[in-house]
Amino acid sequence: MLEINNVVKTFNPGTPNEVRALRGISMKLEEGCFAAIIGTNGSGKSTSLNAVAGSFLPDSGTILLDGQDISNWPEYRRASMIGRVFQNPFAGTAAEMSIAENIVLSMRRGMSRGLGMALNRRVREEIRERIRPLNMGLENRIDNAMGSLSGGQRQALTLLMATWLRPKLLLLDEHTAALDPKSAAQVATLTKEIIEREKLTALMVTHSMQQAVQLPQRIIMMHKGQVVEDIHGVRKARTQVADLMNAFDRVRRRDLFDQSVAEQVLPQYA
């Protein structure tokens, strides 16, 4: 469903602020695959997600979604195929508008919007039905302003809105990181439920090792703009948080193993 081939992106090239954010990343996600991207700060996790979403165009490499080369598509054009949930619960919804008004916008994402009434009784009933399983009591508050809800409630609704039209790809950018632990756990569970029920292809950036172990079928680890580990299949099934911590440690130790270390330790391994 998603194919990233050797994508390179350097920000501020040729300046003292040059950042080689993506150094030729490649990955292929089959349809229905839910993968998490983990990595240290500045490893290129969110940049990878933004490259797919079209927040910038890559310097080189290609991105294919559902068989179409979207590498040069602008962000708004990709939005018809991609659902996104951001870290900031306030980023995915309009605070001044009601729950129903926010949702009705997402119901017509990528479609033409005419001058007819967007919210009629049938649509309001459909909205209530879809948000009832959240078990947050929001189905009785659909006319309340989005800004009156808690971060966890807003993020749960954003997730619902992002998947309302079953996107070809769902992008989750640390979408539970700004929530309190209880809300984060609720939204994480909801994420897994929705992705499994709708059989969505999804890419999630997370800093939570626990989430990376529990939610997705595959874990992609990035370091310095490159993919360094791709854990899937039976290996994913036996992966624990400690294994991911060890993987981080391996990457860190490799960075510390420089020429001077090699000169010091190699004669002692004779």
Partner 1 sequence: MNITSSHKNNYLELKLEGRLDAAWAEHFVSTVSAAMREGRHHIRVDALGLSYLSSAGMRSLLRAHRELTSVNGSFAVIRASDFVVNTLSMSGFDTLLALDEAPAEAVADEEATSAKSKSWSVNGVRIESYSQQEDGHMEVHTTGKWTPWQPLREEDCAKIALGRDCIAIGSGAPADEWQNAREQMGDYASAAGCTAWLPGTGADAPDYLVQEGRYVPELLAASGLRAVGSFSQLLRFSPENDGASLELPRLLEAVFSSTGSTKAAFVAIAEAGGLVGVTLSRSPGLISEGEHADEFPGVRDWMSFCGERVHHGRQVLLVGFADASGSGQSQPGLPAIPSRPGWKLHVHAVVFPFRPLPNGEIFMSECVEQLFAAAEPIAMLHLVEDERPTLGLGKSSFIRGACWCAPASFHTENRK
Q: For partner 1, which is the closer residue by CB, 31 or 258? A: 258
Residue 266 as a binder of partner 1 (CB under 8 A): the answer is yes
Residue 14 as a binder of partner 1 (CB under 8 A): the answer is no
In the chain the beta strands, taken as DSSP E runs, fall at 2-11, 19-29, 34-39, 60-65, 68-69, 82-85, 169-173, 202-205, 218-223, 226-231
Residue 256 as a binder of partner 1 (CB under 8 A): the answer is yes
Residue 237 as a binder of partner 1 (CB under 8 A): the answer is no
List 28, 199, 235, 254, residue binding partner 1 (CB under 8 A): 254
Residue 23 as a binder of partner 1 (CB under 8 A): the answer is no
Residue 235 as a binder of partner 1 (CB under 8 A): the answer is no
Note whether 108 and 100 are within 8 A (CB): no
Least distance to partner 1, CB of residue 246, Å: 4
Residue 267 as a binder of partner 1 (CB under 8 A): the answer is yes
Q: Helix, strand, coil % (nearest 5) of the chain?
A: 40, 25, 35
Candidates 60-68, 133-141, 186-194, 262-270 — which segment interacts with partner 1 by CB under 8 A?
262-270
Q: For partner 1, which is the closer residue by CB, 170 or 209? A: 209
Residue 252 as a binder of partner 1 (CB under 8 A): the answer is yes
Q: For partner 1, which is the closer residue by CB, 234 or 270? A: 270
Note whether 71 and 57 are within 8 A (CB): yes
Residue 253 as a binder of partner 1 (CB under 8 A): the answer is yes
| Among 33, 165, 149, residue whose Cα is nearest residue 110 | 165
Residue 233 as a binder of partner 1 (CB under 8 A): the answer is no
Q: In the 8-state DSSP scheme, what is residue 70?
A: -
Question: What is the number of other CB atoms lying within 10 angstroms of the CB of residue 43?
Answer: 22
Least distance to partner 1, CB of residue 243, Å: 7
| Among 78, 17, 19, residue whose Cα is nearest residue 44 | 19
Instruction: Give me 28's structure tokens.
Output: 């292929």
**DSSP string covering 129-142:** HHHGGG-SSGGG-T
Q: For partner 1, which is the closer residue by CB, 143 or 258? A: 258
Least distance to partner 1, CB of residue 244, Å: 11
Residues at the site binding partner 1, with contacts judged by CB under 8 A:
243, 246, 250, 252-254, 256-262, 264-270
